[in-house]
Amino acid sequence: MARKPWSFKEDRKLMELAKSSASLEEAVKALGRSPDAIKRMALRLGLSLKSKTGKKG
């Protein structure tokens, strides 16, 4: 499956999510991207996202 380029709008959304302490799972839902794609872009943009692994809700 080919990678879809990130738009400026998606970059901004990811920045907003990271700033608001959103989890990786929340970013996946909001952006419709895979966790790996989001991790790669967050790293590229110098952002960090929490992971809710092991927690529900």
**pTM across the whole model:** 0.83
pLDDT at 50: 83
| Digit-coded pLDDT (tens) for 20-29 | 999 999 999 9
**Per the domain annotation, does 24 fall within a domain?**
yes
Residues in the chain: 57
Statement: residue 57 has pLDDT above 60: no
Q: For residue 50, what are the β-bridge partners?
A: 23
**Per the domain annotation, does 38 fall within a domain?**
yes
Number of folded domains that form the chain? 1
Statement: residue 8 has pLDDT above 50: yes
**Per the domain annotation, does 1 fall within a domain?**
no
Burial (CB count within 10 angstroms: exposed 0-12, middle 13-18, buried 19+), residue 17? buried
| Digit-coded pLDDT (tens) for 28-37 | 999 999 999 9
- Supply the range of the domain harboring residue 37: 8-45
**Per the domain annotation, does 52 fall within a domain?**
no
| pLDDT higher at 15 or 55 | 15
- Residue type (1 letter), 48: S
pLDDT at 56: 45
**Per the domain annotation, does 34 fall within a domain?**
yes
Q: Name the residue among 53, 4, 56, 2 with its Cα closest to residue 38.
A: 4
